[in-house]
Amino acid sequence: MTDWTRIVECVPNFSEGRRPEVVARLVAEIESVAGAVVLDTHSDADHNRSVITFVAEPEAAVAAAVRVAALACELIDLREHAGAHPRVGALDVLPFVPVRGVNLADCVQFAHEAGKRIARELDVPVYFYEAAALRPDRVNLEDVRRKGFEQLRAEIGVNPERAPDVGTARVHESAGACIVGARPFLIAYNVNLNTQDVSIARRIARVVRGRDGGLRYLKALGFALPERGLTQVSMNLVRFEQTALHHAFEAVRREAARWGVNVIGSEIVGLIPQAALDRSAEYFLQLENFTPELVLENRIAEAVSRRRKAESSRQKAEGGRQLRTDERPSATISNQSLMINEQAPTTIQPSLDSTDLPTAFSGGGAAAAQAGVLAAALGEMVARLLARKSSGAETAQEAGETLQTLASLREQLAEAVDEDAAAFARVLDARRLPRARDDERRARAHAIEEALKGAAIVPLEVASLAVQACELLETLAELGDAAWLSDAATGAQLALAAVTAARYNVLVNTAEIEDEEFTAEHRARADDLRERAREIATRVEEMLLDSIR
């Protein structure tokens, strides 16, 4: 009998969302494996995609994943598939997520085992992503899946960069390829907009996602929903503790309002931890599909109870003894059970470069970047102390990871000091261009416009980097000893100052730009970043004040 002391969550994504009978067969196939329990199924006809969430002990999780992959190969033909969501396979993505009694390193092993079996037994090429990635350029799912099935089919056998991690360098004729990974828990969250203009949704996605200067730990794409006459910003929150649901919702809402578009609702895809809901009020999110059954812990408790009753009934029928209620292990999962449990790094590498202020600045943009450098440097100091002196492996590991990220941010901010000076010099050079003739005046006006855009982009990047540093300082404040809270709070205030000063430069440099769309977008992003930094700095300050009252 399954004892549920070690639980893995598996979230296979299938390229099928329009045939409920096929999805039902996939669900049944998963639950045909003893100990595998399906918690949730979410299908979307516009995306033509279904996400099935199930839990099991590790061996059962791998077995169920391989079995359902085989059935997907039989039932789903990518040559006939059409939908808004990018995909390369019938079973497109297969992540393993630690829940209880296992850590991320364990899930990497499960992912590799499942991937090798899928490649060997089904002749489907497999790519590994996130923590299971074998190559640094395949950590991000979007980098592996870029350009979709059709492009992969054309390139897999001729381009070494597209060769699979395991399996033959050719796609399965109908089932394509499969991307298998291991990752912490993430939240898939969509916000729906009352416009049919998909370009607006894509612009909003670009503004809010982390890789383009938006919210850290947020991935986003824009899609059309033709069956509903709407568009959607589809998001993944990869660290909901740092970038919460309401942060994502508010960022989309504010940007949509700039385009004259309203948010008409949002939805959760799959399940959500209770801790995520604790950070965001239900009414604030305008969830269309919220019920208590969407909470991960509630669904696991219900599913485990249901499966235990069935197993107990079967044992009783076979002459076994009935389990007493007090013998059943609790299915309640604490917030800590979703944390990654790995060893801390044995060495902490980067040493701080000098952060002495230069004798002269080219302007406020360079000063903003230097304030960000100081904020990141303070964070590095706190992270190094935590990594060395913490008695807990999880705290030491997170501090070590934070240290490395802050070092990278500090280097980028230091480079931005010179980049801002260069951008300012380009504006001056453009203003010195001749303007005696009409063609010279036109050329000069164009040069000034382009130079001013560059001068606005640099401080906006500074603001984004400073917000990321501020978020990490909050993480350190939550991890650290009260003795270091003043350093974290000081760093957060410096980061806020960097964002505020950078925003001033965005406003000034966009004041003369004639491209109204560029101006509105960059000013809105600067406003969002300042508000985010202010919220974080306030929370860190409250932690400090609470510790000394």
In this structure, the number of other CB atoms found within 10 A of the CB of residue 524 comes to 17
Do 242 and 264 touch, CB atoms closer than 8 A?
no
Tell me what percent of the residues of the chain surpass a pLDDT of 90: 51
Separation between Cα atoms, residue 449 and residue 478, nearest integer Å: 44
* Residue 323: inside a domain: no
**Residue 21 DSSP class:** H
Query: Which entry of 42, 44, 46, 85 is annotated as an active-site residue?
Result: 85
- Give yes or no: residues 171 and 31 share one domain: yes
In this structure, the number of other CB atoms found within 10 A of the CB of residue 442 comes to 11
- Return the pLDDT at 293: 65
Indicate the Cα dihedral angle 402, 405, 406, 408, nearest 10°. 160
CATH classification of the domain holding 224: 3.30.70.670
Residue 447 tokens read as 């040069």
* Residue 143: inside a domain: yes
- Return the pLDDT at 291: 64
- Return the pLDDT at 352: 38
Do 449 and 426 touch, CB atoms closer than 8 A?
no
Among this protein's residues, is 85 annotated catalytic?
Answer: yes
Residue 106 tokens read as 């364990």
* Residue 287: inside a domain: yes
Separation between Cα atoms, residue 376 and residue 417, nearest integer Å: 14
Q: Which of 291, 311, 343 is the last residue of a domain?
A: 291
- Give yes or no: residues 136 and 190 share one domain: no
* Residue 300: inside a domain: no
With CA atoms as reference, report the closest residue to 379 among 413, 346, 345, 430. 413
Separation between Cα atoms, residue 475 and residue 404, nearest integer Å: 14
**Residue pLDDT tens, the chain, 549 long:** 567 789 999 999 999 999 999 999 999 999 999 999 999 999 989 889 999 999 999 999 999 999 999 999 999 999 988 888 889 999 999 999 999 899 999 999 999 999 999 999 999 999 999 999 999 889 889 889 988 899 999 999 999 999 999 999 999 999 999 999 999 888 889 999 999 999 999 999 998 988 777 887 888 999 899 888 999 999 999 888 778 888 889 889 988 988 999 999 998 887 787 767 766 654 455 556 666 666 676 777 777 777 777 766 766 666 644 434 333 333 332 333 222 233 333 333 333 343 444 434 457 889 999 999 999 999 999 988 888 876 677 777 778 888 888 988 899 899 988 888 888 889 999 999 999 999 999 999 999 999 999 899 999 999 999 998 999 999 889 886 677 899 999 999 999 999 999 999 999 999 989 888 888 888 888 998 999 899 999 999 998 998 887
CATH classification of the domain holding 473: 1.20.120.680
In order of 44, 134, 208, the CA distances from 21 in angstroms are 14, 36, 36
* Residue 317: inside a domain: no
* Residue 374: inside a domain: yes
Kindly report the backbone phi and psi dihedral angles of residue 179, in degrees, each rounded to the nearest multiple of 5, phi listed first: -110, 115
Element at 8 (helix H, strand E): strand 7-10
Query: Which entry of 106, 420, 487, 528 is annotated as an active-site residue?
Result: 420
The identity of residue 122, as a single letter, is L
Q: Taking each helix axis from N to C terminus, what angle separates 20-31 and 58-75, rounded to the nearest 10 degrees?
A: 150
CATH classification of the domain holding 104: 3.30.990.10
- Give yes or no: residues 496 and 475 share one domain: yes
- Give yes or no: residues 171 and 24 share one domain: yes
- Give yes or no: residues 496 and 368 share one domain: yes
- Give yes or no: residues 89 and 230 share one domain: no
- Give yes or no: residues 124 and 194 share one domain: no
* Residue 342: inside a domain: no
- Return the pLDDT at 287: 59
Do 84 and 230 touch, CB atoms closer than 8 A?
no
The identity of residue 34, as a single letter, is A
Q: Which of 163, 183, 203 is the last residue of a domain?
A: 183
Do 189 and 269 touch, CB atoms closer than 8 A?
yes
**Residue 265 DSSP class:** E
Q: How many domains does the chain have?
A: 3
Separation between Cα atoms, residue 63 and residue 73, nearest integer Å: 16
Residues in CB range of 425: below 8 A, 6 or more apart:
362
Pairing of strands 126-130, 178-182: parallel
With CA atoms as reference, report the closest residue to 406 among 448, 469, 454, 342. 469
Do 465 and 409 touch, CB atoms closer than 8 A?
yes
In this structure, the number of other CB atoms found within 10 A of the CB of residue 332 comes to 12
* Residue 189: inside a domain: yes
- Give yes or no: residues 368 and 454 share one domain: yes
- Give yes or no: residues 177 and 35 share one domain: yes
Do 191 and 249 touch, CB atoms closer than 8 A?
yes
Separation between Cα atoms, residue 286 and residue 280, nearest integer Å: 11
Element at 149 (helix H, strand E): helix 148-155
- DSSP letters spanning 194-245: S---HHHHHHHHHHHBGGGTSBTTEEEEEEEETTTTEEEEEEEES-TTTS-H
Separation between Cα atoms, residue 288 and residue 190, nearest integer Å: 11
Residue matched to tokens 């490649």: 119
- Give yes or no: residues 189 and 169 share one domain: no
Question: What is the pTM for the complete model shown?
Answer: 0.54
pLDDT in tens, 298-307: 777 777 777 7
- Give yes or no: residues 469 and 483 share one domain: yes
Could you tell me where the beta strands, DSSP code E, fall in 226-372? 230-237, 263-269
Element at 192 (helix H, strand E): strand 187-193
Q: Which of 291, 323, 355 is the last residue of a domain?
A: 291
Separation between Cα atoms, residue 159 and residue 157, nearest integer Å: 6
pLDDT in tens, 366-423: 999 999 999 999 999 998 888 887 667 777 777 888 888 898 889 989 998 888 888 8
Q: Which domain holds residue 176?
A: 1-183
- Give yes or no: residues 121 and 242 share one domain: no
What is the dihedral sign for C-alpha 362, 365, 369, 375? Answer: positive
- Return the pLDDT at 278: 60
Among this protein's residues, is 40 annotated catalytic?
Answer: no
